[in-house]
Every structure is written in C-alpha cells, then in structure tokens.
C-alpha cells in the first residue's frame, strides 16, 4: 500500500490558513470584538470597497469597535441601486418564493468557521449536506459513455484508477502538513516550501509530472474531487488545488437554506451593540444604500495624508484608511489606482492572479429530478 493511501484525512483540523496562525474567529466572537480604539478616533470614516461578504464582514467588525465604515459597490440591482452581496448572489424566480438559483457561491464547507459563525449569528440554517456527486446517486458522462454510480456504489475501474493516482500524489503532501499543523511556525515553514516548489506550476503540469496519463487526467477532471468536474481548472496554479485539499474546502459542504444571499443581507441589516454607536447596523450608518462604484483611489506618499476616493457618480471623499475587497480584475480594468496604494509585492501578486470566468445555466422545473 502506498504512503498516500495510508493517510487519514481526518487526523487534523485545518480551520486556519496554512500560512496564517491568526485566530480571527475567536477575536470576532468575543464580547469586545476586534478590540478598542482611542476615544478621539471614534466615528472615524473608513472606506470599504465592495459590498460582498468580505467587505461587509470587515465593515461589520469596524462598526462594532466604533469606527464608521463607508461602503462602495459597483454591481447594481435591476432598478439601478448598488447590489448587496457580491458573489453571494441568489436569484429568486418570480412567482415562486421557494425557487431560487445560486449564481455565485452555493455550497459552504463547515470548516469555514468564520462564515459559519456569521451564519449562526444570523440564524441561518446550514445543516443540510450539499448534494455533491457521490453523496447522491451520480451519473457521469465521459466520451459519450454513461457511468451510473448508485449511492454507496463503487467507481468504474478506469475512474477509480485515476482517483487513486491523484491520491498517491496529494495525500503525502497533505500528510506532511497535517504532521506540522499544531506547530504554527513549522506549519508556515512547510507551506512556504510548497509555495517555492509549486508557485510557477499549473495543476495540469503537476499531474503530468506525477505520472498520470492523459486519459487518467481527463477522467479525473470529469469527476473532480467529489464536487464536480475539475478539467476547466487545469490551467490554474497547483498551489490553489493544494490549498483547497489541505484546508479541506471540498469536505462536508453544506446547502444554505433560503439562499446564500441571506448572509450579506444579514450583515448589512443586523443591528449590533457597538462601542460609540450603541445599537447600530451597516444599513443605518450608510443611509440605507452603499455609495456607487469606485473609479479612482489616490494614496499619498506621506502616510499622514488622507487617501482620496472618487466614485462613479462624481463624489470625492478623504479617508484615513481604505479596505479593498473588490476583484483584482476590477483593480486592473475599472479603478484607477496610483502606485503608492500597494507595495511592489502586492502589485506583483495582482498581476499574477488570474480569475477564471465561469458561467451557470439554471432551468426551473416543476419537480426535482
């Protein structure tokens, strides 16, 4: 039996990032939140660019400690107002409140402890497993041939062989991380060694170098990691696949009852007891709507000077700090950003990070199938 097949994937609990030991969930769950600020800094305005889950959770915690997050959003609803949610985007079919389609994020791993903390805070039900392939009866079509896999059934031999080849590659890498997980310094060191080894190598290249045949790669790409096809991701960095496996983001994924957009909408609307503000919500602090999308960010060379933000409606404001949660694509194409805004290392990361476009097609049916 190979080293890979002996690895027990349940032997460690990777709820933190491999390269960051910050226990952010414990911080935000405490009564004091992220901490305290000097009294003379209370109500200081901080720009938050992006009204998705990242921007709203950051703004939510800033509000709790007594700061004033001012939120900007470029995406719009059909009536032209800024849309809350970002990639947590639930489309509800007219005429049937039960029928909806998740146009963005649609399944949340339970290992996302920060996300599940906020969902529990908002009373959201995430108890139902997402019906990923192999967790339900599964039909797999490959090269014109149909493979039916009943619940609890075995994979077809050629697919099982491809999956075993993948496990023999990934399990030893995961095992090494698992053995260092309780030592934050060693964990970060091990991960950085992986970064140096794989930073310039694609997912496909690593599979080929590991000895998987082209047919095995195609078969594995059709099934994915138990969550659907991965063949469209073969050009991305292998590091992203490695992080996904190490952090168990493909394990125990959950369906969000009522739609994933309840999370950003809840963060926007929920009142919390806040230092300086008392009971307050982000919606109240932002007069019921985010400001329109940002067109320019100007960061001065002198850190004591204000950051200038201009929006698409012609508004201009100055801030002590700006939190940017929009996509790298928006920074490259939609927002004019001067060089002082980021360090050389971050500019390099933005240039090297490529987002893969994807699409979903939903068909409303009378009954489930």
Intervals of CATH 1.10.405.40 along the chain: 3-15+133-253
Pinpoint the residues of the chain covered by CATH 3.50.50.60.
31-126+257-352
For the domain 3-15+133-253, what is the CATH code?
Answer: 1.10.405.40
Dump the DSSP string for 97-137. TT-EEESS---EETT-HHHHHHHHHTT----EEP--BTTB-
Q: Tell me the fold of 31-126+257-352.
A: FAD/NAD(P)-binding domain (3.50.50)
Contacts of 265 (CB under 8 A, 6+ apart): 84, 85
Residues 6+ apart with CB under 8 A from 269: 281, 282, 283
Residues 273-285 as b/e (b if ≥16 CB within 10 A, e otherwise) read ebbbbeebbbbeb
Q: How far apart are CA 184 and CA 19, in angstroms?
A: 8
Q: What angle do CA 153, 132, 198 make, to 5 degrees?
A: 105
Q: Note down pLDDT in tens along the chain; length 369 residues.
A: 344 446 677 778 888 888 877 888 999 999 888 989 999 999 999 999 999 999 999 999 999 999 999 999 999 988 889 999 999 999 998 888 788 999 999 999 999 999 999 999 999 999 999 988 888 888 887 778 888 888 888 888 888 888 888 889 999 999 999 999 889 889 999 999 999 999 889 999 999 998 888 888 888 777 665 566 677 778 888 998 899 899 998 889 999 999 999 999 999 999 999 999 999 999 999 999 999 999 999 999 998 999 999 999 999 999 999 999 998 888 888 999 999 999 999 988 888 776 666 778 888 888 776
């Amino acid at each position: 039996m190979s080293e890979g097949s002996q690895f027990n994937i349940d032997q460690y609990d990777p709820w933190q990032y491999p390269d960051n030991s910050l226990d952010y969930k414990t911080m935000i769950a405490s009564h004091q939140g992220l901490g305290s600020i000097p009294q003379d800094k209370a109500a200081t305005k901080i720009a938050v660019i992006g009204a998705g889950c990242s921007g709203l959770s950051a703004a939510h915690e800033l509000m709790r400690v007594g700061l004033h997050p001012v939120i900007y959003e470029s995406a719009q609803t059909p009536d032209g107002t800024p849309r809350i949610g970002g990639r947590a985007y639930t489309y509800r079919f007219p005429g049937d409140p039960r029928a909806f389609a998740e146009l963005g994020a649609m399944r949340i791993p339970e290992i996302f402890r920060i996300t599940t903390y906020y969902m529990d805070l908002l009373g959201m039900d995430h108890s139902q497993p997402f019906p990923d392939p192999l967790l339900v009866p599964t039909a797999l079509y490959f090269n014109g041939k149909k493979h039916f896999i009943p619940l609890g059934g075995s994979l077809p031999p050629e697919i099982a062989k491809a999956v075993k080849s993948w496990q023999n590659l990934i399990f030893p890498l995961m095992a090494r991380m698992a053995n260092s997980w309780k030592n934050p310094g060693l964990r970060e060191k091990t991960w950085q060694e992986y970064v140096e080894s794989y930073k310039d190598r694609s997912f496909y290249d690593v599979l080929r170098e590991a000895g998987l045949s082209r047919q095995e790669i195609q078969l594995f790409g059709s099934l994915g990691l138990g969550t659907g096809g991965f063949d469209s991701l073969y050009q991305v960095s292998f590091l992203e696949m490695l992080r996904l496996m190490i952090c168990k983001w493909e394990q125990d994924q959950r369906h969000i009852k009522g739609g994933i957009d309840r999370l950003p909408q809840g963060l926007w609307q929920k009142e919390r007891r806040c230092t300086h503000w008392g009971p307050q919500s982000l919606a109240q602090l932002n007069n019921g709507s985010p400001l329109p999308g940002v067109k320019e960010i100007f960061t001065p060379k002198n850190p004591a000077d204000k950051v200038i933000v201009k929006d698409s409606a012609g508004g201009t404001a100055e801030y002590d700090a700006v939190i940017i949660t929009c996509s790298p694509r928006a920074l490259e194409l939609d927002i004019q950003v001067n060089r002082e805004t980021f360090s050389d290392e971050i500019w390099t990361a933005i240039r090297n990070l490529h987002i893969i476009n994807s699409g979903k097609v939903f068909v409303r049916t009378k009954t489930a199938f």
